[in-house]
Structure 1
Amino acid sequence: MSDDHRPDPATEAFVTHRNLLFTVAYEMLGSAADAEDVLQETWLRWMGVDLDTVRDQRAYLVQITTRQALSRLRTLGRRRESYVGSWLPEPLLTTPDVAEDIELAENVSMAMLLVLETLAPTERAVFVLREVFALEYDEIAAAVDKTPAAVRQIAHRARAHIAARRPRGLPSQAETQGALEAFQRAVQTGDMQGLLDILAPDVVLLGDGGGIKQALLRPVSGASRIARLLTVQQTRMAALPMEPALVNGYPALVLREGGEVDTVIALRIDDGLITGLYAVRNPEKLSHMDFETTLHR
């Protein structure tokens, strides 16, 4: 701190771009806890940089964050191979402005983060930096240690890969809210037909308990199977407070037990029907549901 109590220039730059850096790390990792660790590592390296040699502080900070996230992503890939049951991204209770940024909301949605999981680490970094944050190819090249020409090729390949797997049509907030309300009514009342009306024939349900809480160990697919499974659970689910919330930029349901978050259910919507249900129960992934997280591009 200087005599007038203002932060030093390095600290001020980091604080200014912190939400952006967190968003970059979170999109690459799908984990808020790991994104926070990456920010800590970024901070430590940033403190050792001579600012007089930095032309663009934002770009330089993004480069450091990307390199740290890439390193952690490769380590996490090995850990997830031994994860108990399905692995789902860590849900975030997001601020209303995230939902208002339609492109950002799409890219941080639970559905999209799962699609990003199908990319190799470098492809994921290139896609996120180019498609979400609109960085130039030379800036991305410096962050991933590739030539700009190589980055262009990687971006093209990643874009095609994602296009084949992302939601078929970007749902509006109203469409998602309507589907969520119909789903909630059907679940709480045990309305089998109501569930069949809102679930797509090829809907998939994934649960993540992390081996700590009871959850589905394998994905369940098909509207009939999932509707039967949910109606069997109707008594328990109806007994728990079920609140709508903005999770990763989209409406979702939060179930509480004893005042604590027990389950977060996020939805994927295609053509007005639910094609994906993601139920996160792992308590180690629910700490960011107690406060709003600001994401920024």
Structure 2
Amino acid sequence: MIVKFQQIKNITILGVGLIGGSLGLALKENGFKGQITGLGRRRETLNIALEHNVVDFATTDFKSGVEKADLLIIGTPVSLIPQMVKRISEQAPPKKPLFITDVGSVKTQVVREIDNFLSDQDYTHIHFVGSHPMAGSEKTSVAEARSNLFNNAKCIITPSMCTSPTAIQVVKDLWEFIGGYTIVLSPTDHDYLVAGASHLPHLIASVLTQTTQSVQTKSLRALELAATGFRDTTRIAAGSPEIWRDIFLQNSEFLIPMVKSTIQTLEQLSTLLTNKDSTKIEEFLAQAKEIRDTLQ
């Protein structure tokens, strides 16, 4: 019985994009001696993963990608994760222990669905624990993968009441092995916190891009004048629409109140501008600067 990450010999990465690819490179960079298998739908993507030495073996055959795995990491859009766990569980060898984690940005609904499925079907040899590395880029291709992506990154582990202590330890060891440090949160606390730290910023960057697009004179568009500030502020809006659509919808319970709070803050600022209240405007900006300056 595997009880720690050091005993893992075969790792499968389902969905070899930026995160999955960087994970494969990081494992190799940090001395993982076992086999890393890439599993996906597109042979072209898997070939790129092989060319970049991200994985040792690649396949589009689901059963082949699952059957030897001791640890399987799911790197698909969040809406697909529960059905991937179901499919993995149905095709994995019976009674052979298998640890599964994911890299998704939303947890509550995902973990609930997976726990219900695994407990109903009595898959006692399947051990799932959610995880979320707070690292990434607006790029999504495996060609952009890099081995240092997780260095000093916060990697959140989201166990439930159904999660075995062994699974938690194996997944914690995984992220720490490749340079991250782990934080354990409940799925609900995770979703609430990342709604503010990750999901709301992406939404606002997208809104800013859309709003600025409409600003123009007869001869020039505002976007043609956009420089470093605009590019830095809106960089994340270049992320995958498919991935972020799923994230927004899955975490709407926490995201909607934050959107409403943002609208309220903008309305208050609009009032200050209308009243030309220079003192309050400066106080607002100073407070924002003070908060931003605390970030490392």
What TM bracket, shorter-length normalisation?
under 0.3
Structure number with higher relative contact order (C-alpha < 8 Å, ≥ 6 residues apart): 1
Q: TM-score, normalised on structure 2?
A: 0.24
- TM-score, length-scaled by structure 1: 0.24
